[in-house]
Structure 1
Amino acid sequence: MNTGGSVLLLILLVVPLAGALVVAGLRSDVRAAKAVAMGVALIELALTAVVWFSYSVADAAAGTRFQLEFAVDWIPAFGTRFALGIDGIALVMLALTAVLVPIVLGFSWEEKLPEGRSAAGVFALLLATQGLLVGVFVATDVFLFYVFFEAMLVPMYFLIGRFGGPRRQYAAVKFFLYSLLGGLVMLASVIGLFVVSGERLPDGGTFTWAELQRIAADVPESTQIWLFLGFFLAFAIKAPLVPFHTWLPDAGAEAPVGAGVLLVGVLDKVGTFGFLRYCLPLFPLASQKLAPLVLTLAVIGILYGALLAVGQTDMKRFVAYTSIAHFGFIALGIFAFSSQALTGSALYMVNHGISTGMLFLVVGMLIARGGSRLITDYGGVSKIAPLLAGVTLIAGLSSLALPGTNSFISEFLVLIGSFPREPVFTILATVGIIFAALYVLWFYQRTMQGPVRGDAVLAALGDSRGDGPGTMLDPAVAAARGTTGFPDLSKREIAVLTPLVALILVLGFFPGPVLEVIHPSAVATMSEVGLPDPVGGMSR
């Protein structure tokens, strides 16, 4: 057995998985299960900080593709290794996951569950999801990546199917079948890669990413296209891109809020991460050939997702459709083939996880108070819960990429980096910014502004003078009742949201440290694609 490199990534992978097993064994003591889960999540956050400061930007800029590598022989007969390593893009995704999980656990601390379900089960599954996501981001063996890619479906399936809303079984099965179909198609391409590598390497087939990338330019374009399509379908479903998106609104709407945050905040990013890590470097000719198709789907997703978001009545489905629009921007930046756009897309993945995760949380807080997911059942919340209205506004402004918020710089980099090579697609995508302002402000206006109204708000305040969203309550009476019937943010909720608000503002004004981590990996990916960079290097 050959070993090598650092064990940091191995520890980062094992800790949440081991924690999930411990928490699952504490079903009879829910309080202890919650405490252990939060402790594990905070340890993982600390370990991620160690990994972050162990990563050398200078080495990455000098050409070191992966750092903190660890590898042992796994199935030598099949050329597979348990190989781990990170680049800058994987590192920021690890950091996003490590930040969101304690926040999700904090929100889920008092989340109402279906009858007969234990919070220990939710917390164990959330930790398992985190561990498997770490595996996806750090795997440098293609077969190992596939194993983690498929395995991460299992805890999310149970989170949706056992702990979700009224239509949880339907949503969970749809999520699982869509993802499993994409994974099986990708498996065919994984096997194809092994066969192709065996024809070109003296030692036979391999699943090692670095060796596959070295022979990528020698693989005929027609072969690359077929292999690319297998990976692309799996990643397009996971992202999701239109028309492979229909599972997300159902899964997002029925998932418990904590699971929904990880679903739209991190798990969906596996698709766009896969484009960057596998599609572009391993199939450069196919990526160039099929880029117009992907760009078309991306722009359709931006406009289609935004238009459908405006028409939603369910708040969770609203957040899901805004995510579909944002994923279109990420895909645009990836397949525009410039270092600026690639860097912007990777940063967009992080910023989307923060802003949409926060938006999902505030929606969950609204639902916890009013008991309804319908937008029309809320109105005038700012008069009775001003702090909740304030953080909802911050999350919304971040989602529409207002200057000064975290999403602005990533969206700006995507657009300015995409325009030199793809001006038409970029101009069409820019229209989506207008739609984003429309759907965010529409949602905020309906739920937070105006007189106190709506069935959910009035019922929480104990008012029974009428039914329907048109029913209104005197502001003075509403304010007097709001402290008990429709409370503002609790101390726990403030603690949950404060880190996200801080990240939105800090990354809005000081994105440099994160961009410096991402940029060398974006430049390396551009080099692997084999196209000249249309905008050159990016100044710091």
Structure 2
Amino acid sequence: MMLFALIAVLFLGGLAAWYSERFCPAAPRRIAVATLAIEALLVFVQFSTAEPVDYLSAGESPIWIADFKRPWIPRFGIGFHLALDGLSLLLISLTVFLGFMAVSSSWTEIKHRQGFFFFNLLFCLAGTVGVFLAMDLFLFFFFWEAMIIPMYFMISIWGHESRIYAAIKFFIFTQASGLLMLLAIVTFALIFHDNTGIYSFDYFDLLEAPLDPTIAFWLMLGFFIAFAVKLPAVPFHTWLPDAHTQAPTGGSVILAGVMLKTGAYGLLRFVVPLFPEAAQEFAPVAMALGAISVLYAAMMAFAQSDLKRLIAYTSVSHMGFIMLGVFSLNMQALQGSVITMLAHGISASALFMIAGALQERLHTREMNCMSGFWIEMPRLSAITLFFAIASLGLPGLGNFIGEFLVLLGAFKATVTLTVLAALVLILAPVYSLIIIQKVFHGPLRRQHFHSDFGRRELVFMGLLVLSTVWLGLHPQPVLNLAAPPLEQDIQLCCQGDNG
């Protein structure tokens, strides 16, 4: 029941926030904070008291921490099956942590229909947690689609000047790719029925299903495209800069910090374990897309004058590292991908919160209209410098650990693509320094001067700073927690080779 509560608390809290607006305009954001506090307590309980559930064969170590299964549509073998392992626990923790950041960044920015906004924010988080927990493929698709709808509303209602265009583009890309995944899921279940006479969408049943190599490749491709669009990877990335640029700050935090990670999670949870042979066959193509994403998005980033659009392209570049690491199919690269997911979620969210704070104060995102803020806004400037150098991969911070492990593991798989991806170590400082130079140095434009970060903003930014430093200096607990499910992925690939 605890796993079900992780989803239900967020959804019910969203309903309470929406309903409370009719009594008190300030109540929705307070209820959102209280809801996330309860959710954080539930996550802490999972860390401290959960008993392992062994789904592996005898003699192997368990990887599952908790399990919840109830019948849902038994006629078609669809169950409400949730399960938690180290990987999903890390990502749910990131989701809750960044949920606080999204609420904080929306505290003064959202001025109308606050109840409905915080309902959509918490509903989106509930859908994301459901994605990280669902072990029935039909249920996974249900949550996959559920988290898209509130994000569409957040962009289209509370976004900026071209919000309708950006929201529709986001919706079309994600829905079209989701349809491919649905077709792959239904086809997989029908093949399982033909082989066994039983309808089942359960992950653990399908994990053991024998597949013709050609069919497996096409099914894998249906999953891969859906996850590559959400990640996103070049050439499926074009929706992301528009969505980030037009979304409210809280929406950008959730989108960059959490929703993009569902694509990476899907690659690790479904593509590699369910289709190990097809994933190995497709690995050179996927790694090439990852390397191209790293370089192309980095070059596009330093060509931008819109601050949020620049940060959006840096997200595409970092997600390219994750794809490169996942399809390297060795432990170092997979662990690097997980660290990158967490570190990027923190640093990108911080940069979008900074961009949102500047836009709220200056009413513009154009860096050409900014300069000289270092003297007048020293706290905001120093924090921006910290996350700019974190984003470029400064040693001692979380992003460096992730990128270093990915490159180390990818080098074992392909030297050429690893060397190409490593060129981003030259490009990343360029776009990071562009932000610092254009926004914070040069002559002060006093007509745009507004207040520095206040106490509330400093507290939440401080938490992001501490998280980035902790992940960079002490990543071993995260690596240990993520190791068992990643080892299972590698074992399945090895079994595929032996088969």
| TM-score bracket relative to the smaller structure | over 0.9
RMSD: 1.7
Taking structure 1 as reference, are residues 363 and 450 closer, same or farther at Cα in structure 2, changes over 3 Å only? Answer: same
- What corresponds to 2:3 in structure 1? 9
SS of residue paired to 1:451? coil
- What corresponds to 1:72 in structure 2? 70
Instruction: Tell which deviates more after alignment, 56-65 or 144-153.
Output: 56-65
1:35 to 10, 30, 48: 30
- What corresponds to 2:154 in structure 1? 159
1:64 counterpart letter in structure 2: P
The answer to whether residue 195 in structure 2 is matched with residue 200 in structure 1 is yes
Q: How does 1:236-255 map to 2 (within 5 A)?
A: 236-255=228-247
- What corresponds to 2:139 in structure 1? 144
> Are the equivalent residues in 1 in contact too, given 2:261–2:341 (CA < 8 A)?
yes
- What corresponds to 1:473 in structure 2? none
SS of residue paired to 1:30? coil
Q: How does 1:497-516 map to 2 (within 5 A)?
A: 497-516=461-480
SS of residue paired to 1:419? helix
The answer to whether residue 367 in structure 2 is matched with residue 375 in structure 1 is yes
Between the aligned partners of 1:57 and 1:330, the Cα distance in structure 2 is 28
The answer to whether residue 203 in structure 2 is matched with residue 209 in structure 1 is yes
> Are the equivalent residues in 1 in contact too, given 2:53–2:67 (CA < 8 A)?
no
Between the aligned partners of 1:532 and 1:78, the Cα distance in structure 2 is 29
- What corresponds to 1:321 in structure 2? 313
Between the aligned partners of 2:453 and 2:42, the Cα distance in structure 1 is 30
Between the aligned partners of 1:530 and 1:398, the Cα distance in structure 2 is 35
1:131 counterpart letter in structure 2: A
Q: How does 1:280-319 map to 2 (within 5 A)?
A: 280-319=272-311
- 1:403 offset after TM fit, Å? 0.4
- 1:205 offset after TM fit, Å? 2.7
- 1:531 offset after TM fit, Å? 6.7
SS of residue paired to 2:20? coil
1:171 counterpart letter in structure 2: A
- 1:27 offset after TM fit, Å? 2.4
- What corresponds to 1:260 in structure 2? 252
Q: How does 1:527-538 map to 2 (within 5 A)?
A: 527-530=491-494
- What corresponds to 1:106 in structure 2? 104
1:205 counterpart letter in structure 2: Y
The unaligned stretches of length 5 or more in structure 2 are none
- What corresponds to 1:333 in structure 2? 325
2:232 counterpart letter in structure 1: P
2:42 counterpart letter in structure 1: L
Between the aligned partners of 2:78 and 2:63, the Cα distance in structure 1 is 20
Between the aligned partners of 2:20 and 2:52, the Cα distance in structure 1 is 41
Between the aligned partners of 2:158 and 2:192, the Cα distance in structure 1 is 44
- What corresponds to 1:387 in structure 2? 379
- 1:62 offset after TM fit, Å? 4.7
Instruction: Tell which deviates more after alignment, 328-337 or 31-40.
Output: 31-40
- 1:371 offset after TM fit, Å? 1.0
Between the aligned partners of 2:222 and 2:358, the Cα distance in structure 1 is 41
The answer to whether residue 61 in structure 2 is matched with residue 63 in structure 1 is yes
SS of residue paired to 1:25? helix
> Are the equivalent residues in 1 in contact too, given 2:124–2:151 (CA < 8 A)?
yes
Between the aligned partners of 1:493 and 1:62, the Cα distance in structure 2 is 47
The answer to whether residue 456 in structure 2 is matched with residue 492 in structure 1 is yes
Render the CA deviation track for 1:202-231: whole Å, top value 9, x for unaligned.
x5131111111112xx31110011101111
Taking structure 1 as reference, are residues 268 and 346 closer, same or farther at Cα in structure 2, changes over 3 Å only? Answer: same
The unaligned stretches of length 5 or more in structure 1 are 1-6, 462-485, 534-540
> Are the equivalent residues in 1 in contact too, given 2:53–2:66 (CA < 8 A)?
no
- 1:451 offset after TM fit, Å? 2.6
Superposition TM-score, scaled by structure 2 size: 0.96
Render the CA deviation track for 1:33-58: whole Å, top value 9, x for unaligned.
22111100111111111112235689
- 1:32 offset after TM fit, Å? 1.6
SS of residue paired to 1:297? helix
> Are the equivalent residues in 1 in contact too, given 2:17–2:31 (CA < 8 A)?
yes
- 1:31 offset after TM fit, Å? 1.2
- What corresponds to 1:91 in structure 2? 89
Render the CA deviation track for 1:54-93: whole Å, top value 9, x for unaligned.
3568979953242210000110111111000012111110
Render the CA deviation track for 1:483-509: whole Å, top value 9, x for unaligned.
xxx211101111221110110111111
Superposition TM-score, scaled by structure 1 size: 0.89
SS of residue paired to 1:83? strand
Taking structure 1 as reference, are residues 62 and 386 closer, same or farther at Cα in structure 2, changes over 3 Å only? Answer: farther
> Are the equivalent residues in 2 in contact too, given 1:304–1:325 (CA < 8 A)?
yes
Q: How does 1:399-478 map to 2 (within 5 A)?
A: 399-453=391-445, 458-461=446-449
- 1:136 offset after TM fit, Å? 0.3
Render the CA deviation track for 1:308-366: whole Å, top value 9, x for unaligned.
00000111111110000000000000000101111110111111100100111111111
1:54 to 46, 49, 53: 49
Runs of 4+ in structure 1 over 4 Å off: 55-62
> Are the equivalent residues in 2 in contact too, given 1:405–1:505 (CA < 8 A)?
yes
The structure with the larger Rg is 1
Identity of aligned residues (%): 38
Taking structure 1 as reference, are residues 57 and 340 closer, same or farther at Cα in structure 2, changes over 3 Å only? Answer: farther
- What corresponds to 2:184 in structure 1? 189
Instruction: Tell which deviates more after alignment, 136-145 or 204-213.
Output: 204-213
Between the aligned partners of 2:272 and 2:183, the Cα distance in structure 1 is 18
Between the aligned partners of 1:124 and 1:221, the Cα distance in structure 2 is 44
Between the aligned partners of 2:189 and 2:60, the Cα distance in structure 1 is 30
SS of residue paired to 2:68? strand
2:225 to 230, 233, 254: 233
1:386 counterpart letter in structure 2: P
- 1:188 offset after TM fit, Å? 0.5
Aligned length: 493
Between the aligned partners of 2:202 and 2:213, the Cα distance in structure 1 is 21
